[in-house]
């Protein structure tokens, strides 16, 4: 059953008199519980697309529906994870997760405790952000978003700043969370391996203006192994589409 629906989304920025067409006629459906990953060249409009779904930007043509309702503003239904964790430095881990909700409320307290366990931060409840590694801080940000019980979690290159080892651990952690919470995910990345490893579906975008080049369904069960032939075949398929986009970019920039 469809949870998120984008119908003919077109976005234009105005720079003085000049108009920059960033997204053009994007139509897409994401099923409840699905994990969609999005890759595309730098500047193709991935963040712009995610911000529109988050309701952080509503100045576009077309419409976006979540659970059948047109998105008109940011809300608790759309959780958003940025590349950097954006924690409050003066608050402990548990208070960062609770944020504007009171830990004196027993229900909140129990939920925070459950989430701390889920993101594997037991023992760090009273730690401050400066005492955490990048991966741990990002897990706090994910727990904070999950506490609001979003219908969809939007992640904008959440592991982009992490080293390869931590990144791989975070991918596992996110899949565990997805399995447990069944939250629908839309995950933007630059990394083809990451996109194929996490996604039920990988959407490859082309740029100027950003459109959907291809959506590839990754029909592989979890847990996945990056070394298997089947995984490598999917990787090749996505890579092939990505190369087509890059060739198109070269042709466009050369004005051919």
Ligand X SMILES: Nc1ncnc2c1ncn2[C@@H]1O[C@H](COP(=O)(O)OP(=O)(O)OP(=O)(O)O)[C@@H](O)[C@H]1O
| DSSP β-bridge partners for residue 31 | 2
**Measured CA angle at 241 (ends 31, 156), to 5 deg:** 50
Specify the residue, 81 or 143, whose C-beta has the smaller distance to ligand X. 81
Binders of ligand X among residues 64 to 83 (CB under 6 A) are none
**Which span (43-51, 104-112, 175-183, 238-246) binds ligand X, by CB under 6 A?**
43-51
Residue at token pair 């629908």: 184
Specify the residue, 16 or 123, whose C-beta has the smaller distance to ligand X. 16
Taking the complex as a whole, the smallest distance from the CB of residue 126 to ligand X amounts, in Å, to 35
Specify the residue, 29 or 47, whose C-beta has the smaller distance to ligand X. 47
DSSP-assigned letters across all residues of 17-80: TEEEEEEEEEEEEEETT-EEEEE--TTSSHHHHHHHHHTS---SEEEEEETTEEP-S--TTEEE
Among 1, 18, 42, 123, binds ligand X (CB under 6 A): 42
Spatial separation of the C-alpha atoms in residues 46 and 23, rounded to whole Å: 9
Does residue 47 touch ligand X according to CB under 6 A?
Answer: yes
Specify the residue, 60 or 124, whose C-beta has the smaller distance to ligand X. 60
Spatial separation of the C-alpha atoms in residues 197 and 37, rounded to whole Å: 9
Among 24, 46, 144, 235, binds ligand X (CB under 6 A): 46
Binders of ligand X among residues 133 to 152 (CB under 6 A) are none
**Which span (1-9, 13-21, 219-227, 241-249) binds ligand X, by CB under 6 A?**
13-21
Specify the residue, 18 or 219, whose C-beta has the smaller distance to ligand X. 18
Spatial separation of the C-alpha atoms in residues 165 and 136, rounded to whole Å: 13
To which H or E segment does residue 145 belong?
helix 134-147
| DSSP β-bridge partners for residue 203 | 38, 215
Pairing outcome for strands 18-31 and 2-15: antiparallel
Does residue 9 touch ligand X according to CB under 6 A?
Answer: no
Among 37, 48, 78, 138, binds ligand X (CB under 6 A): 48
Does residue 44 touch ligand X according to CB under 6 A?
Answer: yes
Among 19, 43, 126, 230, binds ligand X (CB under 6 A): 43
Does residue 13 touch ligand X according to CB under 6 A?
Answer: yes
The site that binds ligand X (CB under 6 A) totals a number of residues, namely 12
Taking the complex as a whole, the smallest distance from the CB of residue 162 to ligand X amounts, in Å, to 16
Spatial separation of the C-alpha atoms in residues 147 and 139, rounded to whole Å: 12
**Which span (37-45, 123-131, 213-221, 227-235) binds ligand X, by CB under 6 A?**
37-45
24: how many CB neighbours lie within 10 A of its CB?
19
**Measured CA angle at 102 (ends 98, 107), to 5 deg:** 85
Residues near ligand X, by CB under 6 A: 13, 15, 20, 22, 40, 42-48
């Amino acid at each position: 059953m469809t949870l998120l629906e984008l119908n003919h989304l077109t976005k234009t920025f105005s720079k003085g008199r000049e108009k920059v067409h960033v997204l053009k006629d994007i139509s897409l459906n994401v099923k409840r519980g699905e994990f969609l990953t999005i890759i595309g060249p730098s500047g193709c409009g991935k963040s712009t697309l995610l911000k529109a779904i988050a309701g952080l930007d509503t100045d576009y043509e077309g419409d976006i529906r979540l659970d059948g309702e047109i998105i008109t503003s940011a809300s608790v239904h759309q959780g958003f994870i940025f590349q950097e964790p954006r924690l409050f430095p003066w608050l402990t881990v548990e208070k960062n997760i609770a944020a504007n909700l009171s830990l004196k409320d027993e229900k909140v307290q129990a939920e925070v405790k459950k989430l701390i366990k889920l993101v594997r931060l037991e023992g760090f409840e009273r730690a401050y952000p400066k005492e955490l590694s990048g991966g741990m801080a990002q897990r706090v940000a994910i727990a904070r978003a999950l506490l609001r019980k979003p219908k969809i979690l939007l992640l904008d290159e959440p592991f982009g700043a992490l080293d390869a080892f931590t990144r791989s651990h975070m991918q596992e952690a996110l899949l565990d969370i997805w399995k447990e919470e069944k939250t629908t995910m839309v995950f933007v990345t630059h990394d083809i391996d990451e996109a194929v490893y996490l996604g039920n579906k990988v959407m490859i975008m082309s740029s100027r203006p950003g459109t959907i080049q291809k959506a590839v369904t990754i029909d592989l069960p979890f847990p996945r192994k990056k070394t298997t032939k089947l995984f490598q075949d999917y990787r090749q398929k996505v890579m092939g589409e990505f190369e087509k986009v890059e060739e198109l970019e070269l042709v466009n920039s050369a004005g051919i």
